[in-house]
Amino acid sequence: MKIRCAIFDFDGTLFDSMSVWDSVGEVYLRSLGIEPRPSLREDIRAMSLYQSACYFRREYKLSLSSEEIIKGIDKIIEHFYFHDVLPKSGVLGFLHHIKTAKIPMCIATATDRYQIEAALRRCGMEQYFEKIFTCSETGHGKDEPYIFRTAMEHFGADRSTTLIFEDAFHAIRTAKADGFKVVAVFDKSEKHQKEIHDLADFCLTDFDHTDGFWKFASAL
């Protein structure tokens, strides 16, 4: 099979950036003088930023609008993407290999476009991706397959010629339920590793050791 497009998640897949997302909700609530519940990280893990803002309003009785909450959260994470976040080890070489194989690539992410673009630009990675799809712009989180379908259709591909690279169990589950082939990328922040291993078509431990992936891809 010839792969006609590779769809990459950003946080936890390409970039080692999940630490900010794991803690940003807690940091934001504490900035308002509110102590978050112990379950907060898991409660909002599968949500888009807008969904999280609505959750904060509802569950923590915030008087702020969803838009004001989003702006407050953005201020916390913006600096991270503009100045600090780095790609995972081996990512640049892996992307170069895919580009050399003439496989078009895009990003499908729950993070805002301007933050993704800033991190890619700072790390010299813009040239690898033809397009960026965001949950906020498509109006759908990764609890639905819409963003994956939109990216696939952009390249004129179908499910049999598309590979999705994801680290998060909820996104992997969504993609697999919709018939996509998924390469699971290990990230230490994801707790459902056994479920991911059982569900994904291929599990990539890191980008420094990819021989197994290329054997998998050549056999498709």
Which pLDDT score, from 0 to 100, does residue 162 have?
97
Joined tokens for residue 164:
């999705």
Which pLDDT score, from 0 to 100, does residue 31 have?
93
Task: Identify residue 54 by its one-letter amino acid code.
Answer: C
Would you say the pTM of this structure is higher than 0.85?
A: no
Spell out the per-residue pLDDT of the chain, length 220, in tens: 589 999 999 999 999 998 887 889 999 999 999 999 999 988 887 787 889 999 999 999 999 999 999 999 988 889 889 999 999 999 999 999 999 999 999 999 999 899 999 999 999 999 999 999 999 899 999 999 999 999 999 999 999 999 999 999 999 999 999 999 999 999 998 989 999 999 999 999 999 999 999 999 988 8
Which pLDDT score, from 0 to 100, does residue 1 have?
57
| 135-168 burial code (b ≥16 CB/10 A, e <16) | bbebebbbeebbbbbbbbeebebeeebbbbbbbb
